[in-house]
Amino acid sequence: MTASGTSMRAAMLYAPRDLRLEHVSVPEAGDDDVLVRITTNGLCGSDIHFYKEGKLGPFVVDRPYIPGHECCGVVVQAAASGGPSVGTRIAIEPGIPCRRCALCKSGRYNLCPDVVFMSAPPVNGTFADYAVVPADFAHVLPDSVDEESGAFVEPLAVGVQAVTRSGLTAASTVAVIGAGPIGMVTMLVARAFGAARVILIDGLASRLALGAQQGADATINFREESPEARIAELTDGGADFVFDASGSAAGCASAPGLAARGGSVTLIGWPESATFPFPMETILEKELDIHGTNRYANAFPRAIALLAAGKLDIHPLVSHRFTLDQVTDAFRFAADNPAETMKVMVRAEG
């Protein structure tokens, strides 16, 4: 299977908890596209939302589609217009903008109103043998970046975007709320960007233990103690940069209270509810900078560079491994065992 028109395996999500591994046609690549043989997929929290609930934000599973967007692979059909050649290992950047609007031209293409995101239903994603992507969104992986690291480029780019948006400065103190995959990579990126001290906050002891192993200077279990009181003890007036990667209303609302006066709060996690009370008096009193993030723009090359230079290691974050033939088991396990999983990887073959 090296060309369009032949059959491939694909994980098709029909409805909540109705994921089937089926054979479908390999997608057709246009003149500006590359056809990629997918070698490794990471299972994202958004994939699990669609699997469990059939929706996430404005996106609803109303017809069968292929989930997945954290992946790497090998080009098997090059674009007629140029780009990576056949045999090149690449990471797919899944958010495809129009490239023509003012936001795209200014470099903030993640905010393009016409962006098409792979795996946001009904757009097919990458839990399949093959996927098609525009050649300029197929990022070449150096030989020093292995398959699992290549599949981790996408979530790592989220961390790069968040840390860049925050304006993080060297030798600063950072607090990260939420020790899931995005919180973990944000912690690693903040350290790579020069943070002197990182404090990790979560309610799961196992995740905090992993965070400590990965370099967190202090961990706080919010079920056992007050993060605000503990950070007051650990810092001189609060954290310079606070990141919320939890997406929970309580976690997000707590962020300003953890920040130092004149500090920065960056919101990463997709919220569990569209609106909720937020401590405006604290924000005004401390004159905090509040930043929102929306995926990433121009972050993939930087994420790949961090991996290639050995500035961080994602392998300890991989908790479970499956093959594509086991993809239904992978989704079911991740959905039913959130406390036991960090990042689930699905390889094309065993």
117-170 confidence digits (pLDDT tens): 999 999 999 999 999 999 999 999 999 999 999 999 999 999 999 999 999 999
Contact status, residue 320 vs residue 333, Cβ threshold 8 Å: yes
Contact status, residue 74 vs residue 37, Cβ threshold 8 Å: yes
Domains in the chain, please, with CATH? Answer: 7-152+314-347 (3.90.180.10), 158-292 (3.40.50.720)
Q: Compute the average pLDDT of residues 174-199.
A: 98
Q: Which pLDDT band, with edges at 50, 70 and 90, does 4 fall under?
A: very low
**Radius of gyration (Cα) for the chain, nearest Å?**
20
Model pLDDT, residue 274: 86
Model pLDDT, residue 271: 85
- Strand 218-221 to strand 239-244: parallel, antiparallel, or no bridges (unpaired)? unpaired
Average model confidence (pLDDT) across the chain: 96
Q: Compute the average pLDDT of residues 224-229.
A: 97
Q: Compute the average pLDDT of residues 298-309.
A: 98
Q: Which pLDDT band, with edges at 50, 70 and 90, does 350 fall under?
A: low
Model pLDDT, residue 331: 98
How far apart are the C-alpha atoms of 115 and 183, rounded to whole Å? Answer: 25
Buried b (16+ CB within 10 A) or exposed e, 9-43: bbbbbeeeeebeeeebebbebeeebbbbbbbbbbb
Cβ burial of 231 (10 Å; 0-12, 13-18, 19+) is buried
Model pLDDT, residue 101: 98
Q: Which pLDDT band, with edges at 50, 70 and 90, does 112 fall under?
A: very high
Bridge partners (DSSP) listed for residue 243: 176, 266
Q: How many CA atoms lie within 13 A of 11 on its CB side?
A: 30
Q: Which pLDDT band, with edges at 50, 70 and 90, does 188 fall under?
A: very high
pLDDT of 2 strictly over 60: no
How far apart are the C-alpha atoms of 75 and 312, rounded to whole Å? Answer: 26
Please name the amino acid found at residue 160: V
Contact status, residue 13 vs residue 86, Cβ threshold 8 Å: no
- Tens digits of residue pLDDT in 52-108: 999 988 899 999 999 999 999 999 999 999 999 999 999 999 999 999 999 999 999
Tokens, residue 26 = 């390999």
Q: Compute the average pLDDT of residues 273-298.
A: 96
Confidence (pTM) = 0.96
282 vs 247, more confident:
282
**C-alpha distance from residue 326 to each of 58, 314, 320, 344 (Å):** 29, 23, 12, 12
Residue owning tokens 């020093």 = 144
- In 3D space, the residue among 247, 291, 302 whose CA is nearest the CA of residue 269 turns out to be 247
Q: Compute the average pLDDT of residues 234-257.
A: 96
